[in-house]
Chains A and B, each alone.
Chain A
Amino acid sequence: MTAQTMQKRVWAVMASGLLLGLLMMAMPQTSKAEYADVVINNYADAAGMRPAVFPHWFHRIRFRCKVCHADLGFKFKAGGNKITMAKIIDGRFCGACHNGEVAWSVENCAMCHSGIPGTPTHFAGSTLQRLVAPAYKPLAPAQAVNQPAKK
């Protein structure tokens, strides 16, 4: 072996290392959702809709907790309010604001129903979620029942 072939080998190792690094970066990353985002999937999957995602951060910039949790009667429990579209168009829960007057109206289905199909109801980034992480396994989209037709 000459020094030249050895140098070639070093380059080969470096190149393969770089390739491996690039591959790892290209792999899907399980980055965490924004703290306090709530995925609500009581009925959505079964109805052929994507689960709804509620961003707490977006709403608390505009409203204090009291507006929804005292005035509108939202319970402090992910999925505990049993929200349905019928209740929303009756002006309850989300429908108290999402009526085209305070905020945009319900025809923007995909703005809320934007979750990955098959994601169970949960509180993203919550302490409880992290503590029970081994028990929590999100369903793979293939396992989800009645997932919406892909475009």
Chain B
Amino acid sequence: MKYVMRLSLSCLFVSLLALVSMPSVVLAADDGAQPLQLAAVSGANTFNRNLKKEKTRNPPPPEDGVHDPENEATFTLQHPKEAFSGLPTTPFGNYVDWVKAIDQGLLKPRWDRLDSSEEPFVMDLDIVRPVKASVPDVVFPHRQHTEWLFCSNCHPAIFIPQKGANQINMSAILLGKKCGVCHGKVSFPITTKSCKKCHSKPKPANWKPPLSEATLRNPWK
């Protein structure tokens, strides 16, 4: 009995030792030693394979991967974080709510190149666009857009100013057409956190998703 206990104890000890020494064997691969092949999970099946999260928000210019740190003037440029301090935040884009910043009077960008007293020509008109899918309908607010832009920026080149004349879909927007000319480039991007900024009008209580053609003509129904 004593012998069996001792054997099992030593077995436990050896297996523990093997567990501890395993990583060091793998790490020692550089020295030319054959790495121990572990029954690891395939590299193709890593968790969150396609979810690339930003490591740093609003990095300073020399560290942003676009500005050249070997260029001396790069270090004289303002840091975005410093410029954004005190502005309302959002979870996407520059992480700044630019519209709110203007509404709250925290920013006063010029409407004219030279005259800082000139006020924008703001038009308060909401356009409701019904959406075929089950997501809430789109409300396009002219007010927030005319705070920044002039009519000619969008009309008539991007949007024909006529009801029913503009066919918009999310793929076009994601590919940089229609709303995507700005949204996804400069103004807030399309993420799951920003859907409801546009899709903001709930469907009527009696609304039901339209049945697809394949369902209506289903021969096996």
Contacts and interface: CB of A to CB of B under 8 A. Distances in A.
A126 interface: yes
Range class of the B interface residue count: 35 or more
A58 B150 contact: no
Contacts of A39: 66
Nearest to A70: B150
A70 B114 CA distance: 14
A9 B149 CA distance: 66
B147 A150 contact: no
A9 B54 contact: no
Interface of chain A: mostly helix, strand, loop or mixed: mixed
Given A70-B149, A123-B185, A32 B64 contact: yes
B66 A66 contact: no
B200 to A, nearest CB: 20
Range class of the A interface residue count: 35 or more
Nearest to B175: A128
A62 interface: yes
B185 A36 contact: yes
B68 A10 contact: no
B61 interface: yes
Contacts of A65: 148-149, 153, 182, 186
25 contacts: A9-B20, A9-B24, A33-B67, A36-B93, A53-B66, A56-B186, A57-B80, A57-B94, A61-B107, A64-B111, A65-B186, A66-B148, A66-B149, A66-B153, A67-B110, A102-B114, A111-B77, A114-B77, A123-B185, A124-B64, A125-B189, A126-B184, A127-B176, A128-B180, A128-B185
